[in-house]
Structure 1
């Protein structure tokens, strides 16, 4: 298992791809699954959104958001807090466009498509052994064979 550091957090995010994108509306948190496009070299994570999406108003008013990545098959978990900003950068939209986006927009020139650029500030990550290993370790601990080593975790400044 790798030590939890900034590089490892980026690798975990790249391997998971979908996260819960959590905003604040002034009275409650709101979460929705979104496809993340991590770009470590830009220190940013991008998301496509619609110009009229409710979360866009929330981002404009409360730009600090949280992303929660979960890969149950690998027992990997990453929670990242940072600042989100809306963009209509057509060149970047074109660069990030994939055929999968055709489910929501006509193409990268669709007038409704926008980008969210998320800049991570801090993260917490948990990189645990796979399910079978975890189960065996917990069973051994339950019968008095010591506390289980459940992998690596840590807080990381991004």
Structure 2
């Protein structure tokens, strides 16, 4: 059973990690690329700035189901978010989301005619919230080798999200 705490943990982990691999469908093939995510908890969405001239926008228009994979191996934290994406030309939302980092890709600023807002509305997620203490991880691994038990490396949960 999904709790509000689980949903919050999905967003907390994704927000902490920040960059994910956005996977979309290109016909029968899957394609992934790194994207800088912005979590919008109030809207129940993950947003990105994107360039309308790139293939992901066409792929999403053809099939809006996507997966966002976040990873922070040093702390053993991982999040996978499945959802439905759409590309919007909402200039006010683009301006609100625009940052100094975005200027690297869009030097004309939020008025650049090629910048769009990519919105992913999560439908499901799974997280692995690992133990960050290397000594605790080493202990769990050693304990598992000496027994028939799997190591306890943290929490893992499947989470139903609000989405479409």
Relative to the length of structure 2, the TM-score reads 0.90
Number of aligned residue pairs? 156
Once the two structures are TM-superposed, the CA of residue 26 in structure 1 deviates from its matched residue by 1.1
Query: Map of 1:1-158 to 2, 5 A cutoff?
Result: 5-106=6-107, 107-130=109-132, 132=134, 133-144=136-147, 146-158=149-161
Summarize the Cα distance change of 1:102–1:139 in structure 2 as closer, same or farther, 3 Å threshold. same
What is the Cα deviation at residue 145 of structure 1? 7.8
| Per-residue deviation, residues 10-59 of structure 1 (Å, max 9, x unmatched) | 11111110000000111210000000001111111111111111010000
**Aligned counterparts of 2:28 and 2:56: Cα–Cα separation in 1:** 14
Q: Where do 5+ consecutive residues of structure 1 fail to align?
A: none
Deviation at 1:99, TM superposition (A): 0.7
Whether the 8 Å contact between 1:93 and 1:114 is mirrored in structure 2 is: yes
Structure 2 gaps, min length 5: none
User: 1:31 is paired with a residue of what secondary structure?
Assistant: strand
Greater shift in the superposed pair: 22-31 or 140-149? 140-149
Q: TM-score normalized by structure 1? A: 0.93
CA contact (8 A) 1:59 1:84 kept: yes
For residues 124-146 of structure 1, the C-alpha deviation after alignment (integer angstroms, 9 at most, x for no partner) is 11111126121221112212384
Moved over 4 A (4+): none
Partner SS state of residue 128, structure 2: strand
Specify the SS of the correspondent of 1:91. helix
C-alpha RMSD of matched pairs (Å): 1.5
